[in-house]
Amino acid sequence: MSRKTTKAFTAANKAAWETSAPLHAEGEAWEQLLASAARPGFSVLDTHLTSVLRGLDLSGKSAVQIGCNNARELLSLAALGIEPALGIDQSGSFLAQGRQLADAAGLSPQLLEADVYDLPAGLGSFDLGLITIGVLNWMPDLPEFFRIAAGLLKPGGALVIYETHPLLEMFDPAAEKPYEPAFSYFERRPHEVTEAIAYDGQDHGEGETGYWFVHGLGEIVTACIQAGIGIVSLQEFAHTIREPEYDIYEGRTAQIPMCYCLVGRKTGAYGQEEPEA
């Protein structure tokens, strides 16, 4: 994908998120989040991701979150003894919410507004790179994304991805027959997202048009390896981390995978080992 095309997609997605940001900084849910951030041991991480991070023995280590949104997950790392050093997102409005949460939590991570494909130099390197739900699907160029992510890691640094399973992207919970596949697993044309982006399952009307890319699990793993990230583990889960409308696919006898957690270590391009720092 050309740089010009990538920039066009990321610019559109930035506008979509900026338009939707006010929906996330109002109402009872936001007030509860602010209040929770001020309490000791604040964390919004679920038991699955918490368990994975604990198993990596990262206490006292530094972390970067790529696509940090309002930084609630980045700030949650402090409860595990991990330094929330840097959060990157291209929505300045969401980062402003992150600064409010950081102030409430008494933490001071660097929150950087930037297109991930055009990061400034000198950001440093980190022991942990965290990518959570909804980041990869806004990325038009997966190999370049992981090349940049690997560049933010120290040699031997861990990359943790906790994301929607690509198989779930085949289904549309709003379709007349929601249990039948609505989309091909191999369709790579982006979906246009025209509605305002929210997590509560409610219709908030039209927003700016963004572009949602479905990447197969094989593409994700391959892009990691080619960027110099060796795969340590890949767990697939039956629980949902998507919006409430996807709850209908959970707890079924014929259960599909709904999310996954990939753990990798920076090794060097195409698996060439780099010495640990």
- Would you tell me the crossing angle of helices 142-151 and 217-226 to the nearest 10 degrees? 40
Task: Confirm whether 186 is domain-assigned.
Answer: yes
Task: Confirm whether 67 is domain-assigned.
Answer: yes
Task: Confirm whether 230 is domain-assigned.
Answer: yes
Task: Confirm whether 198 is domain-assigned.
Answer: yes
CATH number at residue 77: 3.40.50.150
Write the CA distances from 212 to 53, 125, 139, 176, integer angstroms: 28, 29, 8, 22
What is the number of structural domains in the chain? Answer: 1
Task: Confirm whether 60 is domain-assigned.
Answer: yes
Task: Confirm whether 276 is domain-assigned.
Answer: no
Asked if 101 and 75 touch (Cβ cutoff 8 Å), the reply is yes
pLDDT by position in tens, the chain (length 277): 677 789 999 999 999 988 888 877 778 889 999 999 999 999 999 999 999 999 999 999 999 999 999 999 999 999 999 999 999 999 999 999 999 999 999 999 999 999 999 999 999 999 999 999 989 999 999 999 999 999 999 999 999 999 999 999 999 999 999 999 999 999 999 999 887 666 655 665 777 899 999 999 999 999 999 999 999 999 999 999 999 999 999 999 999 999 999 999 999 654 444 444 4
Task: Confirm whether 277 is domain-assigned.
Answer: no
Task: Confirm whether 100 is domain-assigned.
Answer: yes
Degrees, nearest 5: CA angle 6-217-48: 110
- Please report, as a single letter, which amino acid is at residue 3: R
**Separation of alpha carbons 67 and 276, rounded Å:** 26
Regarding pTM above 0.85, the answer is yes
Domain extent for 257: 3-271
Q: Between the CA atoms of 212, 64, 32 and 198, what dihedral angle is there, to the nearest 10 degrees?
A: -10
How far is CA 149 from its chain centroid? 12
- Please report, as a single letter, which amino acid is at residue 85: A
